Chain A
Amino acid sequence: MPNSATAGGFLLVLAIVLPVSGVLLSLVLGGRHAERIALILMPAGLAVALAIAAAVWRTHNVLQYFVGNWNPPLGVAFRADGLSAAMMLTAALLICGIGLFARGQFPSPQQAELRAPLVFWTLLLAVWGALNAVFIGGDLFNLYVALELLTFAAVPLVSLDGRVETLAAALRYLLFALLGSILYLLGAVLLYGAYGTLDIALLSGRINAGPIAWAAISLMTAGLLAKAALYPFHLWLPPAHAGAPAPASAILSGLVVKAPFFLAIRLWFDIMPRMPERTAAQVLGILGAAAILVGSVVALRQVRLKLLIAYSTVAQIGYLFLMFPLAIKPEMGHPWNTTAWTGGVLQAISHAFAKAAMFMAAGLIAEALGHDRIAGLSGIGRALPITVFAFALGGVSLMGLPPSGGFVAKAMLLTAAVAEGQWWWAVVILAGGLLAGGYVFLVLARALADASQPLTLLSPISPSRQAVVVALALCAVLLGFVPLRPLELLQIGRPDIAIGG
């Protein structure tokens, strides 16, 4: 970890400045230009994310920036390691894809400003800016502000349609998110009270196992779990993600819900390593296993497609938290299990692509049929073959079938579970894969069945939107060609790395 600002730190600032400037411009220029502003900023933001990843790869080191030239602990630092770069790239690609898809749903009005397009494009850029702030934040309070930014950008997306059910879902989401944030802040307060700094790098050197540190970590983790909808805090997610318009569901399930998971990683892998965390990590694993099983079983019983996909998100988030007991070292100084580390991060990334594609496919189907009841999907396979194909590709990744990013991720987690002797997680992973297969085939069987009468679509579905959905699903599949070894990019910036099995 460098102890001063590194070259390329300017890119980190740009990653936040670009999307937020877009928000300000959209508000002042009005709803008729919001879409155009977003479309201009999307490739620019993607270029910045690529540049950051290239810089991290080239220097094989963390990019660090001290805002205002004030060093921590007095000032705030931005840091981008390999994990940050990978997540920022994922976010950029997904936002571009979702933005292209959403052009058909929230087109710019010709005359007066309309509510939905202005709100959607503004909040899309705001989510992007907030995500980047989360991925590069190096200070716990700065991350708190970034989390609040993300919550305020995400909640109105749920109720964007204006339907009554979405209002209740949005309010419940907001209350859970606020509880999570305040618990997170309480933990940060305790850490400052004990160690005098909120900077992640400095805290990792000062923290020691004691009641204050454990209390702070527990509170912050509980808050983050509530925001990530890990079992048993998952009740708010299905109605919120299912009720939002399709591009919003894609952002919420694909990206927004990964941010608290990312912060939990920062907490457990960056701040805590001097504490004996192995046993505590088992608790996270147990909750993750419960999420996989409960989420998948409830998904099987769903009547509506979007709710099924939302419960699938609850399940897939559980896999993410299996990473904690598997990747955390057994005792201080022991090399980390980098296979599990790569597996967990790949799960986050491939799920983002796959779930976004599935939600958008479900959105197109709902537009075509006027409803999203699974029982009424017969014949849609013939009417919208590309869309259903994209849905199937996403499902392949969810199930963990080769070739797909989901397969690589789950295989790595399985390998790590067996190698570490924690075979019970392997059982859960396999069971989760079977259950995912169950609910994916449930939908595909209906979709590919022949309709009793020929299907008339309510509105024509543009091929370009279908192409975007397929492209995103293909990304999830392409990740399957990542070699089944720890990924070097993700190791950059992680101290004490050894290639483990």
Chain B
Amino acid sequence: MAFDSGLAVLVLGVAVWTIAARDTFAAVVGFVAYGLLLALAWVRLAAPDVALTEAAIGSGVTGGLLIGASTRLRRTETAAAGEEPGPTLRLAAAVLCVLVSAGLAAIVLMLPEPAPTLAPQAAANIAATGLGNPVTAVLMAYRAIDTLLETVVLLLALVGVWSLAPDRVWGGFPGPRHHADPDGVLTFIAQLLVPLGILVGIHIFWVGSVAPGGEFQGATILAAMWILAMMAGLVDAPPVSRRWLRLLLIAGPAVFFAIGLAGFAMAGAFLAYPVEYAKLLIVTIEIPVTLSIAATLALLVAGPPERAPHR
């Protein structure tokens, strides 16, 4: 209990730092710390799958994106300071936010006892899915349509990011070219870490069917390794017009849809699995989905094309 109180206070403290810090870069660093502390809170709340996702995506990849952005925007800091709202607006906002927080806190204390839950139903049906991890069962079986639409959401975000490229570099390479420095530290670390990270990512994806883990967490680690390789100059980002890249990106949602539609014939409904093959089908979906999500996440961090394609 004391540990939880300390952790909660720490989380709030870092959150206050993120909002109140004058310098944006400091706020972003605070945000990354906040994400890692939050992951710890998830462990305390008996949610290891969420903790992995929060650490990997919420803190890791998001943090990387924010740090990159705040570095590039450093010169605009002083200009923006002139547009700060006056004290009356700040006071009104503070009052509103205190009321919102107080209201939510009151509601937390008013939540019904015993708490309504779907855990018994999830447990009762998990045998039909062949899985051992109930969170994976929810993601890939009970509410597979949400996961399916979510892969499309990710893809659309990437289309949106790519759409911001100037016309003349369309189809080209995202981001600047990083050159590998053969004596540099980053290159050394990358050469060491990337193969290891890929193995870890595959492992975390694979055990997700019976233990905490799964496609999102595994995909994020794979994406992080690709990002690391690109930043260290080991590989260059692929041009966005390459057919193989496009296939890689849509493979996950496409296989998901295909198996979902096959469910009409095999089990009588969209995204239904026949019991004997349920686990096999789910894994068949998960492999391309993991690869597609990894590619999408990495390219979302890489950004829109900036260098024209070779022609």
Contact = CB atoms under 8 A, between A and B. Distances in A.
A190 B103 CA distance: 12
A162 B107 contact: no
Contact of B170 (A114, A129, A193): A114
A196 interface: yes
Q: How many B residues touch the partner, as a band?
A: 35 or more
Contacts, number: 155
A68 B152 contact: no
A273 to B, nearest CB: 21
Contacts of A145: 146, 149-150, 153
Contact of B159 (A13, A69, A119): A119
Interface string A17-39: 10011011001101000000000
Interface residues of A, number: 56
A156 interface: yes
A155 interface: yes
A57 interface: no
B213 to A, nearest CB: 22
B156 interface: yes
A402 to B, nearest CB: 42
Contacts of B122: 74
Interface string B33-56: 000000000000000000000000
A416 interface: no
Contacts of A146: 149
Contacts of A159: 163-164
B255 to A, nearest CB: 11
Interface in B112-169: 112, 115-118, 121-122, 125, 141-146, 149-150, 152-153, 155-157, 159-160, 162-167
B159 A122 contact: yes
Contacts of A116: 167
A113 B170 contact: yes
B185 interface: no
A76 interface: yes
A294 interface: no
A413 interface: no
A469 interface: no
Contacts of B253: 20, 24
A142 interface: yes
B141 A70 contact: yes
Nearest to B161: A156
B249 A152 contact: no
Interface of B: 103-104, 106-107, 110-112, 115-118, 121-122, 125, 141-146, 149-150, 152-153, 155-157, 159-160, 162-167, 170-171, 241, 243, 246-247, 249-250, 253-254, 257, 261, 263-264, 267-273, 311
Given A27-B155, A27-B246, 16 more contacts: A10-B264, A30-B243, A68-B145, A68-B272, A76-B146, A112-B311, A115-B171, A122-B159, A126-B152, A129-B152, A145-B153, A149-B152, A152-B153, A156-B159, A162-B164, A194-B111
